[in-house]
Amino acid sequence: MKIAMIGTGYVGLVSGVCFSDFGHEVVCVDKDPRKIEMLERGEVPIYEPGLDTLMAKNVEAGRLTFTLDLAKAIEGAEAVFIAVGTPTRRGDGHADLTYVMAAAEEIARAAKDYVVVVTKSTVPVGTNAKVRETVAAANPDLDFDVASNPEFLREGAAIDDFMKPDRVVVGVETDRAAKVMEGIYRPLYLRDFPIVTTDLESAEMIKYAANAFLATKITFINEIAALCEKVGADVKQVSKGMGMDGRIGNKFLHAGPGYGGSCFPKDTKALARIGQEHASPMSIVETVIKVNEDTKRRMIDKLLDLCGGSFNGKTVAVLGVTFKPNTDDMRDAPALTIVPAMVGGGAKVRVVDPQGRREGEHMLPGVDWATDPYRAAEGADLLVILTEWNEFRALDLTQLAGSMASARMADLRNIYSPEDARRAGFTAYESIGRSGFD
């Protein structure tokens, strides 16, 4: 089948590459010439493990190409996927649909034959109907259907998630569109990965409900962690004991500095906004948003305490700034709240991140970038672990403590234990939801 993919970001590029690996002929389009030039040179503009190899394989096989020319890309395509960004609109929390609607209009103007216009971007309920109206208004003679196909992949594990999904959700209005979507996902269906077929509105809602639920689960354990610190419980033991209950499950139960990333912050805000617009308040989600902000602020207080009440004149080494490991994505990372608070308070901050520097350099002004944790920690007053990259999981803590001016650690991902830190010579250690020492 021939497929066009609009947008070569984290979702569009991974989906395009994986569809081509299914055997489909895929043309990926972006309006950013820098990205298309890189892709044409065989370079991947984002960091996603395994993507470079899979992309090269399918380019080599002649199934995957890249272009700036949307009209050319959709020539003969049975489906065209919209995988552009839907960031938070300034001011009101609503998802900004400018890019989705612009793509829909461009498709309408370029399409000649029957095509299914599939929205893969995360969009509020009712958007696919708006896409349908937009396409019909821009090209009244065009024979087309719309489909909603929200994406559930996680950055850092995107290829595996796409190739082995828990489920694929497809919202359609006609049998004809359902057949096209079935054809596209047939390789997964044959391998017993379930496809959930719904109406457009339910598909749109599934995505927001799923993300808001996961954000709630993380926020719940973060709030339990805060209480654990007060009552002397250990949140690691608590989440282990909770997660063994099959009704709860152990995923998304790791306490940390607050959720971030390109999806949870914006999708929870958008869902809260949808609730307000329909006079059906999403009170739980609204509280989750607030508690998550409080969680990030609580982290700053923790660091401030470890610095004796003031960041001024302190040197802090920060390990990890991306919102999670195995990605270069910095969007809404907790680091963007926590690091500027330290810099603003007069700290000299040194940052190390295996992939975050390219994005992070302009988002974190006033910090120094170091190449490894040991260099960053030399002469520092505080070591902060913000992202649990594998590289930071087996550090020589004795060497680190020995090289610091004041051996204090804030382990905001609970990678180490108070015992590890004490043994290595740290004089203060704080983590999340467990007693530390000072």
9 binds ligand NAD (CB under 6 A): yes
Q: What is the DSSP string of 276-341?
A: HHTT---HHHHHHHHHHHHHHHHHHHHHHHHTTT--TT-EEEEE--SSSTT----TT-THHHHHHH
4 binds ligand NAD (CB under 6 A): no
318 binds ligand NAD (CB under 6 A): no
3-state SS of 49-65 is CCHHHHHHHHHHCCCEE
- Cα 43 versus chain centre, distance: 21
Closest to ligand NAD by CB, 133 vs 368, is 133
Compose the 382-401 pattern: x for residues touching ligand NAD by CB under 6 A, - for all others.
--------------------
Compose the 176-205 pattern: x for residues touching ligand NAD by CB under 6 A, - for all others.
------------------------------
Q: What is the DSSP letter of 87?
A: P
Contact 342, 297 (CB under 8 A): no
Closest contact distance (angstroms) between CB of 304 and ligand NAD is 32
223 binds ligand NAD (CB under 6 A): no
Choosing from 18, 28, 263, 307, the catalytic residue is 263
7 binds ligand NAD (CB under 6 A): yes
Closest to ligand NAD by CB, 2 vs 154, is 154
Closest to ligand NAD by CB, 158 vs 303, is 158
263 included as an active-site residue = yes
Interstrand relation of 428-430 and 408-411 (parallel, antiparallel or unpaired)? parallel
128 binds ligand NAD (CB under 6 A): no
End-to-end CA distance of the chain: 63
Write out the two tokens for 123: 């969009």
84 binds ligand NAD (CB under 6 A): yes
Closest contact distance (angstroms) between CB of 266 and ligand NAD is 7
| Given 99, 259, 392, 416, the residue binding ligand NAD (CB under 6 A) | 99
86 binds ligand NAD (CB under 6 A): yes
Cα gap 310→308, rounded to integer Å: 6
263 binds ligand NAD (CB under 6 A): yes
323 binds ligand NAD (CB under 6 A): no
Ranked by CB distance to ligand NAD, the top (closest) residue is 9
Length of the chain: 438
Contact 154, 124 (CB under 8 A): no
Report the b/e string of 272-289 with b at 16+ CB within 10 A: bbbbeeeeeebeebbebb
Span from 55-63, 149-157, 233-241, 411-419 in contact with ligand NAD (CB under 6 A): 149-157
Cα gap 223→294, rounded to integer Å: 10
Closest contact distance (angstroms) between CB of 213 and ligand NAD is 15
236 binds ligand NAD (CB under 6 A): no
30 binds ligand NAD (CB under 6 A): yes
Closest to ligand NAD by CB, 86 vs 134, is 86
101 binds ligand NAD (CB under 6 A): no
85 binds ligand NAD (CB under 6 A): yes
Contact 392, 416 (CB under 8 A): no
Give how many residues touch ligand NAD by CB under 6 A.
27
418 binds ligand NAD (CB under 6 A): no
Cβ count near 394 (within 10 Å): 9
Q: What is the DSSP letter of 31?
A: S
Cα gap 154→301, rounded to integer Å: 30
| Given 155, 223, 328, 381, the residue binding ligand NAD (CB under 6 A) | 155
Closest to ligand NAD by CB, 292 vs 431, is 292
Task: For residue 37, give every residue at least 6 positions away whose Cβ sits within 8 Å of its Cβ, in sequence order, or none.
Answer: none
Cα gap 297→107, rounded to integer Å: 44
Span from 25-33, 175-183, 240-248, 315-323 in contact with ligand NAD (CB under 6 A): 25-33
359 binds ligand NAD (CB under 6 A): no
102 binds ligand NAD (CB under 6 A): yes
Cα gap 298→229, rounded to integer Å: 12
Cα gap 145→152, rounded to integer Å: 23
209: phi then psi, degrees, rounded to nearest 5: -65, -40
55 binds ligand NAD (CB under 6 A): no
29 binds ligand NAD (CB under 6 A): yes
Closest to ligand NAD by CB, 121 vs 292, is 121
Q: Angle formed by the axes of helices 200-231 and 235-243, to 10°?
A: 140
Report the interface residues with ligand NAD, using CB under 6 A. 6-12, 29-32, 35, 83-86, 99, 102-103, 106, 121-122, 151, 153, 155, 262-263
Active site residues: 263
